[in-house]
């Protein structure tokens, strides 16, 4: 069977009969077309979609582990769940930057939801270790990450996290701190966070578009940032986040060879024991995509289990892309939503999903999200982000 979906300019979403506009369409009734700011989708049933706006050394072989001292986990790991949801923030209360900012009232609503009793907020290293080892996690395990180390993390977010005994991770690009850029944290501030148990992750030296630069320059970025972490903090982080969520096979290999144990992109979806730990998903949050309807549905999402994803590289070498994947579990009502392009979905039997676009997508970043309703009215979600040269 086939279905067509094309971009639009206005979001209209339905959530169990309620209409809202948050940059994420969470399915209407079976067969009802749905649209986002960047696209409408059609499949064989309901679906949820998103078009998130983000901001937009020789490899260190042996790294000293980050101190384990005071990670303020809310609960201990353990349980039968094999997935977790990780959120990504950038700025807090910096209203002049809406594409990367979360308003403080929105942020406080998020914290109130996470502390309502339905979730287990864990440190990111704890989540990664549990899923990699198969130990299991509590149901609705949540990780919190922040990219770029803006000063508002220290001044606005940290006091709120600390008051709620909530662990989080900050991914730091070292050059902005070395240059003393005024709206970024200082190394002294980062050291305070570390002393308080906050996890620090790597984010390259210059926050470069890594797939766009020579691979030797990528390795130099990683080596230099590792050296600066060692000098300033006494350790090299074990977790990494790709600037802008952009990567390709060579970049991923360089990051892995630099010693990072897990790395994160900016594609939506829940991470699981079956995820690619060199390119893990996160739900990005900002003013436009920080409404509570979206936050709750993302926080309760489950992984959509797939295999044999094409394209296999996270940077496109063919445009338009020939996107497809194989479902590991039955999903008769799956729907997919591209951020750009007039596309057709084809189901090849019960398992294979193929999507074809009728023309090239714009350069930059191209996203596609595929969803189906899971147990307990929780969305199963698979998202991909591709860098488009």
3-state secondary structure of 263: strand
pLDDT of 31 over the 70 cut: no
Report whether pLDDT(40) > 60: no
- Report pTM: 0.84
What is the pLDDT at residue 212?
Answer: 97
Q: Check residues 24 and 4 and name the one with the higher pLDDT.
A: 4
Is the pLDDT at 73 greater than 60? The verdict is no
Task: Give the C-alpha separation, 325 to 307, whole Å.
Answer: 6
87 three-state secondary structure: strand
Looking at residue 80, its pLDDT comes to 85
Q: How much of the chain exceeds pLDDT 90, in percent? A: 79
Pairing of strands 34-35, 40-41: antiparallel
- pLDDT per position as a tens digit, 88-144: 999 999 999 999 999 999 999 999 999 999 999 999 999 999 999 999 999 999 999
For the ranges 6-20, 32-46, 182-196, 309-323, the lowest mean pLDDT is seen at 6-20
| Residue with the larger pLDDT of the pair 217 and 17 | 217
Q: Would you place residue 41 in the very low, low, confident or very high pLDDT band (cuts 50, 70, 90)? A: low
Q: Is the pLDDT confidence value at 15 over 60?
A: no
Q: Band of the pLDDT at 65, cuts 50, 70, 90?
A: very low
10 falls in which pLDDT band (50, 70, 90)?
A: very low
pLDDT of 49 over the 50 cut: no
pLDDT confidence of residue 342: 87
Would you state the structure tokens that stand for residue 178, as one six-digit string?
Answer: 């070395």
Span 251-288, pLDDT tens digits: 999 999 999 999 999 999 999 999 999 999 999 999 99
Name the maximum alpha-carbon separation found in the chain: 58
pLDDT tens-place string over residues 327-379: 999 999 999 999 999 889 999 999 999 999 999 999 999 999 999 999 999 99
Residue 62 pLDDT level (bands cut at 50, 70, 90): very low
Name the CA radius of gyration of the chain, rounded. 20
Q: Answer for the pair 239, 264: CB distance below 8 angstroms, yes or no.
A: yes
Which class does domain 83-288 fall in? alpha beta
Predicted local distance difference test score (pLDDT) of residue 43:
58
Cα–Cα distance measured from residue 22 to residue 31, given in angstroms and rounded to the nearest whole number: 21
Reduced to 3 states (helix: H, G, I; strand: E, B; else coil), residue 330 is coil
Hey, is 272 helix, strand or coil? strand
Phi and psi at 293, nearest 5°, equal -60, -50
Pairing of strands 322-327, 352-357: antiparallel
Q: What is the pLDDT of residue 173?
A: 98
Tell whether the model's pLDDT for residue 51 goes beyond 50: no
Q: Please give the average per-residue pLDDT across 28-52, as a whole number.
A: 36
- What's residue 66's pLDDT? 40
Confidence of residue 11 (pLDDT cuts 50, 70, 90): very low
Sign of CA dihedral 336, 128, 80, 108: negative
Q: 153: how many CB neighbours lie within 10 A of its CB?
A: 26
For the chain, the structural domain boundaries read 2-51+315-388, 83-288
DSSP string, 271-318: EETTS-TTSB--EE--STT--HHHHHHHHT-EE--EEEEES-SSB-SS
Cβ proximity of 363 and 211 under 8 Å: no
Above 50 in pLDDT, residue 60? no
Cα 106 from Cα 123, distance rounded (Å): 22
What's the burial of 293, exposed, middle or buried (CB within 10 Å: 0-12/13-18/19+)? middle
Q: What is the mean pLDDT of residues 214-220?
A: 98
Say yes or no to pLDDT of 13 above 50: no
Torsion of CA 236, 183, 175, 102, to 10 degrees: 60
At residue 54 the predicted structure's pLDDT band, cuts being 50, 70 and 90, is very low
Considering only residues 84 and 20, tell me which one the structure prediction assigns the higher pLDDT: 84
Give the pLDDT of residue 2: 56
Contact 131, 84 (CB under 8 A): yes
Q: Is the pLDDT of residue 67 over 80?
A: no
- pLDDT tens-digit map of 153-198: 999 999 999 999 999 999 999 999 999 999 999 999 999 999 999 9
Q: Which element (helix H / strand E) includes 216?
A: helix 215-233
Strand ranges in 216-290 using DSSP code E only, listed in sequence order = 239-241, 262-264, 271-272, 283-284
Residues with Cβ within 8 Å of residue 349, at least 6 apart in sequence: none
């Amino acid at each position: 069977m086939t279905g067509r979906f094309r971009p639009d300019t206005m979001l209209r979403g339905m959530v169990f009969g309620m209409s809202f506009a948050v940059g994420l369409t969470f399915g209407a009734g079976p067969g009802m077309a749905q649209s986002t700011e960047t696209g409408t989708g059609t499949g064989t049933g309901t679906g949820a979609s998103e078009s998130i706006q983000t901001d937009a050394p020789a490899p260190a072989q042996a790294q000293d582990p980050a101190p384990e001292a005071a990670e303020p986990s809310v609960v201990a790991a353990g349980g039968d769940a094999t997935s977790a949801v990780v959120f990504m923030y950038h700025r807090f209360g910096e209203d002049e930057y809406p594409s990367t900012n979360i308003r403080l009232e929105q942020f406080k609503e998020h914290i109130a939801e996470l502390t309502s009793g339905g979730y287990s907020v864990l440190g990111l290293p704890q989540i990664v270790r549990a899923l990699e080892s198969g130990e299991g996690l509590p149901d609705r395990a949540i990780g919190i990450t922040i990219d770029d180390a803006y000063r508002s993390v220290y001044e606005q977010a940290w006091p709120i996290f600390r008051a709620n005994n909530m662990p989080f991770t900050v991914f730091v690009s070292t050059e902005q701190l070395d240059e003393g850029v005024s709206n970024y944290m200082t190394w002294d501030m980062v050291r305070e966070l570390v002393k308080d148990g906050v996890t620090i992750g790597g984010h390259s030296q210059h926050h470069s578009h890594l797939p766009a630069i020579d691979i030797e320059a990528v390795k130099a970025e990683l080596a230099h940032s590792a050296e600066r972490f060692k000098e300033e903090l006494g350790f090299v982080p074990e977790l990494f986040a790709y600037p802008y969520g952009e990567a390709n096979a060579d970049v991923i290999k360089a990051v892995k060879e630099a010693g990072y144990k897990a790395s994160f992109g900016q594609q939506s979806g829940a991470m699981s024991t079956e995820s690619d730990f060199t390119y893990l998903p996160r739900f990005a949050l900002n003013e436009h995509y920080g409404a509570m309807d979206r936050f709750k549905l993302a926080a309760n999402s489950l992984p959509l289990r797939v295999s044999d994803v094409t394209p296999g590289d996270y940077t496109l070498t063919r445009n338009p892309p020939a996107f497809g994947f194989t479902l590991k579990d039955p999903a008769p009502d799956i729907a997919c939503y591209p951020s750009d392009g007039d596309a057709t979905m084809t189901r090849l039997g019960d398992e294979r999903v193929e999507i074809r676009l009728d023309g090239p997508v714009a350069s930059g970043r191209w996203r596609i999200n595929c969803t189906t309703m899971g147990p307990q009215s929780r969305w199963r979600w698979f998202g991909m982000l591709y860098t488009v040269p």
